[in-house]
Chain A
């Protein structure tokens, strides 16, 4: 099975900062990777799919890049609503695991 590893586990930042988080896969995914945002007590929300395609309605400050085994999610200018946990998920081959998450907290 493919293993997904996210880093860092926790990221401290301030409103207005630019932040980047990473997701690594144990095997090549091509571009079959999605990013989700999850706020406490809520279902995940799709942000990015096919590694770099922005889901409809998601602000353009979110962007994704990468292919193969290394991927990044960047938020260009943090807003108060962005403090949440972010998960990557591969969907190249079954099963479809998630990473362990990156918790974005206010510095």
Chain B
């Protein structure tokens, strides 16, 4: 069965960086793009960016363009999201999610979420 398993919760100080992983299984990794979505406490879902796992092409939300890096390791069927220059407003649950169909960006499988807390 399809599974997306994310790394554990992180506590970081302002100005630091965090790297969250999303290990996938149960399907062919390179056939489906992976997205990162975050949700601050009590707020709406916010799309951060995505990676086309087959060729490595990336799209970022302009809001995060200068601070976020999404990568993948095809041999490990794992995607990563690194966010730098953290501030308190980055405190949120971060999710990875998979395209439902190749090239169609509705998101059918989601990771369990990784809570990132930014606090001095």
A contact set with B: CB distance below 8 Å: 1, 32, 34, 36, 38, 43-46, 49-50, 55, 87, 89, 91, 94-101
State whether A34 touches B106 (Cβ < 8 A): yes
Main DSSP-derived SS at the A contact region: loop
B residues with a Cβ closer than 8 A to A are 35, 37, 44-47, 50, 59-62, 95, 97, 100, 104-108, 110-113
With A44-B110, A50-B106 already in contact, the answer to whether A99 and B61 are too (CB < 8 A) is: no
**Is the beta-carbon distance between A43 and B111 smaller than 8 angstroms?**
yes
Set of chain B residues within 8 Å of A99, measured between Cβ atoms: 44
Is A95's CB under 8 angstroms from B61's CB?
A: yes
**In the assembled complex, which residues on chain A have CB atoms less than 8 Å from the CB atom of B107?**
34, 36, 44, 46, 89
- In the complex, the answer to whether A98 meets B47 with C-beta atoms within 8 Å is yes
Query: Which 4 pairs show the lowest CB-CB distances between chains A and B?
Result: A49-B106, A91-B105, A43-B110, A34-B106
Beta-carbon contact of B45 and A96 below 8 Å: no
Q: How far is the CA of A36 from the CA of B107 in the complex (A)?
A: 9
Q: Are A91 and B112 in contact (CB under 8 A)?
A: no
Given A43-B112, A46-B100; A96-B44 close (CB under 8 Å): no
In the bound complex, do residue B45 and residue A87 qualify as a contact, i.e. CB atoms below 8 Å apart? yes
Q: B95: which of A43, A50, A89, A100 is its contact (CB, 8 Å)?
A: A43
A74 to chain B, nearest CB (A): 18
Residue of A with least CB distance to B65: A95
| Complex Cα–Cα for A55 and B37 (A) | 20
- Inter-subunit contact B105/A96 (CB<8 Å): yes
By a CB distance below 8 angstroms, the chain B residues around A50 are 104, 106
